[in-house]
C-alpha cells in the first residue's frame, strides 16, 4: 500500500504550512510546500490537539460539526461527508458538545478521513500527552 502524503509528513491531519508558524516537533527540513512535516506522528498529532484547543478557545467550536466546518471548509471539502464519517467512527452526535477526554477519539477519526490512516490509539495518546505536558508547563510558568 502506498503511503499517503499526510503519513509521509508525519502529519496525519494535513496541517497546512502558515508563514511564521513554527511547531514544536516540526522537522528541520520542510520539503512539502503546502503541509507541515513533523519529526514523528506523535508531534503531528500534538499539533492537531493544539489547533483544536484554539478552535475551542477562540471560536467556541466544541462539537464535531463546528470543528469540521472550520477544519475542512465546504469551499475545499465534502464537509458534510467528513462530519458523517467522523460521527459514524466515533459514535458522537454532530452537535454533541465534546468533553476533553473525547478529543483523542475525534483526532483518531479525523486522521482516518484525512489520510486513510488507522493510527494506533497509543500513538494518538502520545500526541495527546505531548499536548497536555506542554500546555501544563505553560500554565505553571505563567505569572499570576
Q: What is the pLDDT of residues 45-82, one digit of tens each?
A: 999 999 999 999 999 999 999 999 999 999 999 999 99
Q: How many CA atoms lie within 13 A of 120 on its CB side?
A: 5
pLDDT band at 2 (very low <50, low <70, confident <90, very high): confident
- Could you tell me the three cell numbers for 86? 467522523
Asked if residues 82 and 65 have their Cβ atoms less than 8 Å apart, the reply is: no
Main-chain dihedrals φ then ψ at residue 88, nearest 5 degrees? -65, -45
pLDDT band at 11 (very low <50, low <70, confident <90, very high): very high
Q: Which of 106, 69, 72 is nearest to 87 (CA)?
A: 106
pTM over 0.85: yes
Which range marks the domain in which residue 131 is found?
5-141
Number of domains the chain is built from = 1
Q: Rounded to whole angstroms, what are the CA distances from 28 to 40, 46, 56?
A: 12, 17, 29
DSSP SS3 for 19: coil
Asked if residues 44 and 35 have their Cβ atoms less than 8 Å apart, the reply is: no
Amino acid at each position: 500500500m502506498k503511503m499517503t502524503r499526510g503519513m509521509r509528513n508525519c502529519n496525519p491531519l494535513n496541517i497546512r504550512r502558515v508563514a511564521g508558524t513554527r511547531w514544536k516537533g516540526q522537522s528541520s527540513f520542510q520539503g512539502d510546500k503546502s503541509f507541515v512535516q513533523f519529526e514523528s506522528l506523535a508531534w503531528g498529532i500534538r499539533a492537531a490537539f493544539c489547533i483544536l484547543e484554539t478552535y475551542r478557545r477562540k471560536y467556541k467550536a466544541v462539537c464535531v460539526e463546528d470543528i469540521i466546518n472550520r477544519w475542512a471548509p465546504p469551499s475545499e471539502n465534502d464537509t458534510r461527508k467528513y462530519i458523517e464519517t467522523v460521527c459514524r467512527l466515533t459514535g458522537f452526535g454532530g452537535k454533541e458538545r465534546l468533553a476533553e477526554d473525547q478529543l483523542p477519539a475525534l483526532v483518531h477519526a479525523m486522521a482516518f478521513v484525512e489520510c486513510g490512516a488507522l493510527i494506533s490509539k497509543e500513538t494518538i495518546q502520545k500526541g495527546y500527552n505531548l499536548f497536555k505536558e506542554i500546555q501544563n508547563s505553560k500554565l505553571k510558568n505563567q505569572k499570576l
